[in-house]
Amino acid sequence: MSPEEQISKLLRLKRYEQPRPGYFEDFLQEFQDRQRAELIRRPLWEIAWDRIVSLAPSFQVPRMAYASIVALAVAASAIIVVHPGARASRGALAANRSTLSLTSSQPVTIGESVPVTLTSTGSPSVHYVLPTRPVSSYASSRSF
Amino acid sequence: METPETPDEELVARTQAGDARAFDQLVVRFSPRLYGLVYNMTSNHEDTNDLLQEIFAKAYRSIKGFQGKSSFYTWMHSISVNMAINFLKKRNRRMTMSLDDVDNGIANDPEFIEATSDYDPRHQANLGELQKRLNEAMMKLSEEHRAVVAMFDIQGMPHAEIAKILKVSEGTVRSRLFYAHRQLQNYLQEFITT
């Protein structure tokens, strides 16, 4: 018998290594008990994740790709729901409302981009100034 | 009560439709075979029991995604081998397994003694030693090589089936077997007559 065959024969002896008698009869019961215990113990997100993974096994995509997609989806949802950028700009506008007035230290001319200023009541009002001549110059030349 | 002849596919379809009892039948049907596979990779009955419970739990959670592209048998074996390899890698990182953790309880098993009766009497004197050395030799193989040896030499599975389970070519299976046998010959030299 060749050494290769002898090795195979020795390894076949491991077939005799079996669990205690009655083990397989108890195995199913233990499985059912563990399943019930797991249902109570497992967090919902873990169950949901398992469902997602089990529903999309046919695609040849690494598991980490699924994780990235789900993470992106969660992040996108969070951005949409919380929308921190919009909140911040809305907050800034609200803060400026009390300080904005009809007059501006910077004259604005027609033809440039038109700024929108807010009155203290909050209604938008546009402050136009004719080209080259600030409002103050009209006021100073006026006499009654 | 299910008859033993109920095909796996039918039990799988019923499980997918929500019949948990059909899955119980699959557990009963597959646990002895998968136990052998996992045990021969871990060489520890307690670890095998825990791992086998996790394997069936995972299979149950994932069964809706099983589309029958491979047989249920192949699918279950794939899950088992992958989970066993992951478990062993974690266990190896956690600790170096003590040889006392390797189960050596069959030396008094009459079937085992009968099976080893045609060995040289010098070797028969210590069947416990033979089993211990066999397990130690197995544990010295890498997880991937051990899986191939467990499936081919111990469970008697054909190369093609092992290739499907491991998602490698038959050539890879053969080369892993060749390498593993060479290593085992070195570890078990005293039990081999030239």
Full DSSP string of A37-75: HHHHHS-HHHHHHHHHHHHS-SS---HHHHHHHHHHHHH
Query: Does residue A2 have a pLDDT over 50?
Result: yes
Fold entry, domain B1-103: Rna Polymerase Sigma Factor; Chain: A (1.10.1740)
Inter-chain residue contact B31 with A11, CB threshold 8 Å: no
pLDDT in tens, A103-131: 545 555 555 555 544 444 545 555 555 55
H-helix or E-strand spanning residue A12: helix A3-12
CB A127, CB A106: distance < 8 Å: no
Q: Give the SS3 label for residue B120.
A: coil
Residue in B151, B116, B170 with CA at minimum distance from that of residue A9: B116
Sign, CA torsion A47/A52/A58/A63: negative
At residue A143, the pLDDT reads: 47
**To 5 degrees, how large is the angle CA B117–CA B119–CA B122?**
105
Sign, CA torsion A41/A46/A47/A53: negative
Alpha-carbon distance A35 to A141, whole Å? 92
Contacting residues for B157 by C-beta, under 8 A, at least 6 apart: B151
Q: Which residues from B are below 8 Å from A34, CB to CB? A: 53, 57
For residue B25, which amino acid is it? Q
Inter-chain residue contact A56 with B192, CB threshold 8 Å: no
Structure token pair of residue B90? 């974690």
Query: Does residue A33 have a pLDDT over 80?
Result: yes
Q: Give the SS3 label for residue A103.
A: coil
pLDDT in tens, B68-82: 889 999 999 999 999
Structure token pair of residue B41? 């990779």
> Would you say how long chain B is, in residues?
194
Task: Measure CA of the first residue to CA of the last residue in chain A; give whole Å.
Answer: 130
pLDDT in tens, A34-65: 888 877 777 778 778 877 776 665 555 666 77
Inter-chain residue contact A14 with B24, CB threshold 8 Å: no
- What is the pLDDT tens value at each position of chain B, 194 positions in all? 555 579 999 999 999 998 999 999 999 999 999 999 999 999 899 999 999 999 999 999 899 889 888 999 999 999 999 999 999 988 877 765 554 455 555 555 556 556 665 555 455 546 778 888 888 899 999 999 999 999 999 999 999 999 999 999 999 999 999 999 999 999 888 887 77
Could you tell me if A82 lies within 8 Å of chain B, comparing CB atoms?
no
CB B84, CB B147: distance < 8 Å: yes
CB B111, CB B74: distance < 8 Å: no
H-helix or E-strand spanning residue A125: strand A124-125
At residue A106, the pLDDT reads: 56
How large a percentage of chain A has pLDDT more than 70? 51
- Decide which of A91 and B154 is more confident: B154
Q: Are strands A117-118 and A124-125 parallel, antiparallel or unpaired?
A: antiparallel
Could you tell me if A2 lies within 8 Å of chain B, comparing CB atoms?
no
Fold entry, domain B104-194: Arc Repressor Mutant, subunit A (1.10.10)
- Match 């008990």 to its residue by tokens: A33
Inter-chain residue contact B116 with A56, CB threshold 8 Å: no
In angstroms, what separates the C-alpha of A47 from chain B's closest C-alpha?
9
Query: So where are chain B's domains?
Result: 1-103, 104-194
Alpha-carbon distance B119 to B117, whole Å? 5
pTM listed for this prediction: 0.63
Alpha-carbon distance A91 to A89, whole Å? 5
- Match 């089990």 to its residue by tokens: A54
Alpha-carbon distance A60 to B68, whole Å? 16
Q: Which residues from B are below 8 Å from A10, CB to CB? A: 130, 134, 184, 188, 191-192
CB B136, CB B98: distance < 8 Å: no
Nearest CA in chain A to B112: A16
Structure token pair of residue A107? 């004259």
